[in-house]
Amino acid sequence: MERADVVVIGAGPAGLATAGALRHHGIGSIVLEREDIGSSWRKHYDRLHLHTVRWLSHLPGYKMPARYGRWVSRDHVVEYLENYVAAHNLDVRSGVEADTIERTGGDWVVRTNDADFAAPRVVIATGYNKHQHLPDWPGLDTFTGDLVHSGNYKNPEPYVGKRVLVVGTGNSSAEIVVDLIEGGAGHVMMSVRRSPTVLLREANGVPGQVLGVILRPMPEPVMNKLWPVLQKNVVGDLTKYGMPEPAPNAYTRFLREDVTPILDVGLVDMLKQGKVEIVAAVEGFEADEVLLADGSRVQADAVIAGTGFTRGLEPLVGHLGLIAEGPQGRPNVHGPVTHPDAPGIHFIGYTNPVSGMFREIAIDARRLAKAIAKARASEPAARAA
């Protein structure tokens, strides 16, 4: 069994940011990664760029190079994470998958497919989007077209000239719709269950993230009233182009149910040009047809399901009572705070804030590392007493 001051599970942005912030306090860590550094980013679709501006997306202790441009590409994110590891001389163990965590004496023991690792503190950063979620639609096994989860979509090349239905209204779905249209798909449809809030990634040279940073402290009721006003003034009335009327309390749904706003990179223009058809929610499949909630049917050569992800924390910490109730499967503590029944186990990267995930990861990593350093400093005094 190998022992460390801190074991970090996950070598994505959150895990690496934590390890880098711990270095600032002179604390070493072992980072366990089941695949490779930034593995989830390596799998994203080709055209993906951060929806947060570069200068608000640095991780602790290492800035993103200016050559990455204003909106950082998928490949540059991967490069940045690799360089981040090198810059901080982090101990990343690739190909090591954590199976479960157990308490042994004063340590937590992380059981893996390779070896066991013991530490008084464990930081879990396995990712907000660990496992793909695909609904159990009736008749799915009869569908004669191609169906992939949005997490497996790469580029529009396989869909040239085809009728494609994109399910969902998250940022990935919205950008895939644009990618398909620009890439030569024959006809693109977008299935909408609940109308999304649509804001611009950038307006008049100001990144939408800046507005998110300013508005984040606002009370929930205020934000519920403000979001529809912002959408109407920024992108206009989208109901005339087929998008349903915005649902009430959108900010509450964002906080409780992960219903994120679309930071538009082209969908609004495609809607206004009549290049994308909005259809109702998917209810099932039958041969080459997709059955919709309004009773209609559409034919599709392919379906791309932007139906979300799950956190997948149950095998790791479900037995410790650290998962909050609800379908999101989020931890019930976050950042520097640990649960009274599991002191020393931290979580990071399981929020999806309007102010930008990379920015908030950096803030949380610094706070978490400071809390660990403070706790370590008090331990000798506690033992002496």
- For 36-69, the pLDDT digits (tens) are 999 999 999 999 999 899 999 999 999 999 999 9
Q: CATH classification of 2-130+311-384 is 3.40.50.300, yes or no? A: no
Q: Residue 77: what pLDDT?
A: 97
State which fold the 132-305 domain adopts.
FAD/NAD(P)-binding domain (3.50.50)
Q: What is the pLDDT of residues 345-381, one digit of tens each?
A: 999 998 877 788 899 999 999 999 999 999 988 875 4
Give the number of residues written for the chain.
385
Please state the three-class secondary structure of the chain as a single string: CEECCEEEECCCHHHHHHHHHHHHCCCCCEEEECCCCCHHHHCCCCCCECCCCHHHCCECCECCCHHHCCCCEHHHHHHHHHHHHHHHCCEEEECCCEEEEEEECCEEEEEECCCEEEECEEEECCCCCCEECCCCCCCHHHCCCEEEEHHHCCCCHHHECCEEEEECCCHHHHHHHHHHHHCCECEEEEECCCCCCEEECEECCEEHHHHHHHHCCCCHHHHHHHHHHHHHHHCCCCHHHCCCCCCCCHHHHHHHHCCCCEEECCHHHHHHCCCEEEECCEEEEECCEEEECCCCEEECCEEEECCCEECCCHHHHHHHCCECCCCCCCECCCCCCCCCCCCCEEECCCCCCCCCHHHHHHHHHHHHHHHHHHHHHHHHHHHHC
**Domain 2-130+311-384 shares a fold with domain 132-305:** yes
- In the chain, where are the structural domains located? 2-130+311-384, 132-305
Give CA–CA dist 101/108, Å, rounded.
Answer: 7
Instruction: List the chain residues with pLDDT less than 50.
Output: 381-385
Pairing of strands 98-104, 91-94: unpaired
